Amino acid sequence: MLTRIVPSLELMEADSYRKQQTSFCVLTLFVIAILLLLHTLFASLLGEPSTWVIVLLGFSFSLKIVELVWLQGQTHGITKRTARLETGLSIAGIFLLAALLSLLTNRDVAPYFVLLAIPILQCAYHFGLVPTIITIGAAVGLIFFWMHYFFLIHPPPLAAEYLEAGMISIIYILMGLLVWFLVHQLKLQQRSLSENMVELESARERLIREEKLAAVGRLASGIAHEIRNPVAMILSSLTTATNRGIGEVDREEMIQIAAKESSRLEHLTEEFLRYARPTTLQRSSILVSDLLIYTAEVVRAHAAMRSIEVVCLPMGDQTIEIDSAQVQGALLNLVLNGIDATPTPGTIELKAARDGTFIRIDVQNSGSAIPESVLPSIFEPFYSTKPKGAGLGLAIARRVAQDHGGDLWVSCNENGRVIFSITLEAGGVRK
């Protein structure tokens, strides 16, 4: 991951350099234009700009335009060596320009020395403290050297001019050191931020790996939870079938239930995959009453062990095209949850009705109302209020309902009357 982050940071620094240097080019062009304009407007004080001054300024202006175009073309990054070379040439060029313009204008305090502020800023931005101090010293030295040279040719020297040059030098020193300090602090913060980004990315990867491992654990726990339901039904059915007091017809029915629940175990893994990645439904026509009756018969023996009665209200000859295995699993989850939530003795009721363009199936239990603090979370994956629950039953049941164009929700939440309602799309409904 570090090898993936570092190049992006280098590219970001190169892009930042290109933008900064572009700003300096524009600033230099602006200052050159302003100085030429002021020289022209105040020609009575500074003298008319000579042809050589105009030519030199025009040439410098053109070079800056070329530099600007070159910078805009460096979209694939700039190496540190190239950046240092380009910055160094730019700084040296401005120093040379200021010196030549001073010679051509021949003034005691040449106005074109204002250009020296730009290389000081460039050095403070791109280099360290020592190069910045050297650049400031070079700028101050050039100003005083020119003053000394000028008054050698045009004596006597004027103390006021030296004082003015000293004030300009102090401004350059303060400006250069302050800008370097601010940029240095900014770079330290940027470096710290980059290191934090690397650490954050590394921590994120660790969390992802840990979350994947935790998800595998939750999935395994969920599979165990889902397997436990049909296994309980098989055990109850076989226990009832081996009872000597049971009739032959009832024994055969219990064995058939055990066989059906055994085959349903084969589909549990597919149900988990279907929850994570919905698949095409295997629809078939089935009577809604048969769906309810089968669910009630499957859980009746298990409910009887807790003295809970399972009541089924048939719906007549209404049929619907659904994936019966998935819907049966969803209803079984709802009924078993109802049995767990119902005190002894109690009642579980299954009924169905036509609700507009849907078939609505209600699973009602006589247990206590679900706490309001828990209610918004009961359909979330892996959320469970049971000590050993995996929290997948209601989540899978709701996904089944949604895959069939409907939904699953708590339509009534009262003490002694809690109803889970599941709707199935009526597109395949016929009577």
Residue where the block lists tokens 């359909």:
379
pTM of the entire predicted model: 0.47
Task: Tell me the sheet residues that pair with 417.
Answer: 414
Task: Read off the pLDDT of each residue in 102-122 and give the average, rounded to a whole number.
Answer: 84
pLDDT band of residue 3 (cuts 50, 70, 90) is: very low
Cβ count within 10 A of residue 276: 10
Whether residue 66 has pLDDT greater than 80 = yes
Task: Read off the pLDDT of each residue in 412-416 and give the average, rounded to a whole number.
Answer: 89
| Nearest Cα residue to 255 out of 272, 274, 273, 234 | 234
Please state, in angstroms and rounded to a whole number, the distance separating the CA atoms of residues 93 and 95.
5
Task: Read off the pLDDT of each residue in 293-313 and give the average, rounded to a whole number.
Answer: 88
Asked if 130 contacts 184 with a C-beta cutoff of 8 angstroms, the reply is no
pLDDT band of residue 84 (cuts 50, 70, 90) is: confident
CATH of domain 269-430: 3.30.565.10
H helix or E strand, kind and range, residue 261: helix 248-264
| Nearest Cα residue to 111 out of 23, 25, 29, 34 | 34
Rounded to 10 deg, the angle between the 159-241 and 393-403 helix axes is: 90
pLDDT band of residue 226 (cuts 50, 70, 90) is: low
Whether residue 112 has pLDDT greater than 70 = yes
98-122 burial string, b = 16+ CB within 10 Å, else e?
bbebbebbebbbbbbbebbbbbbbb
Give ranges for CATH 3.30.565.10 in the chain: 269-430
Burial tier of 208 (Cβ tally within 10 Å: 0-12, 13-18, 19+): exposed
Each residue's pLDDT tens digit, 154-184: 888 888 888 888 888 899 999 999 999 998 8
Task: Read off the pLDDT of each residue in 215-238 and give the average, rounded to a whole number.
Answer: 71
Burial tier of 84 (Cβ tally within 10 Å: 0-12, 13-18, 19+): middle
Task: Read off the pLDDT of each residue in 67-72 and give the average, rounded to a whole number.
Answer: 87
